[in-house]
Amino acid sequence: MNDSPKDHTQILIFSVVAGRLESVERVTLPPEEWQKRLSAEQFRVARLKGTEPAFSGVYHDLHDAGIYRCACCGTDLFSSRDKFDSGTGWPSYRAPVHSANVRFAQDWSFGMKRTEVLCARCDAHLGHVFDDGPPPTGMRYCINSASLSFAPQGA
């Protein structure tokens, strides 16, 4: 990550409100600035690649209609329409709102190979994706509540 406040790199991100891809600046901030903007738990999870304990996050059992956004930069990430109860204790989704809004990295931590899910705009650690989800995608995006904010439908 670049240590300058902004590197002015433009990327395309899908906006749910606009219903289209829009050009936005990547968000790159030094760790000290993220610490000022985020709670200690958000910083630990989203910026330091931590995880919250199962069943402890504020969104694992939320069933309201709306959009889950990146807690760091506000990018639209997941829709409540794609949320399902995986029984794992973390919010789980079949798919992101658009493939442009997330990116993936290989994660070899804890002695296993997993696919990490990151916010495409600010590189926040969101969680992991697995291929054991329900139809139609067969995917389970297992995401930390601490990496998300929630915008209720109509807000």
Domain harbouring 70, CATH code: 2.170.150.20
* Full residue range of the structural domain in which residue 69 is found: 31-152
Per-residue pLDDT reduced to its tens digit, 98-141: 999 999 999 988 788 999 999 999 999 999 999 999 999 999 99
Domain count for the chain: 1
Catalytic residue among 70, 73, 119, 142: 142
With respect to residue 8, please indicate whether it lies within any of the assigned structural domains. no
Asked if 124 and 145 touch (Cβ cutoff 8 Å), the reply is no
142 is catalytic: yes
With respect to residue 24, please indicate whether it lies within any of the assigned structural domains. no
Per-residue pLDDT reduced to its tens digit, 8-61: 799 999 999 999 999 999 999 999 999 999 999 999 999 999 999 999 999 999
Per-residue pLDDT reduced to its tens digit, 69-105: 999 999 999 999 999 999 999 999 999 999 999 999 9
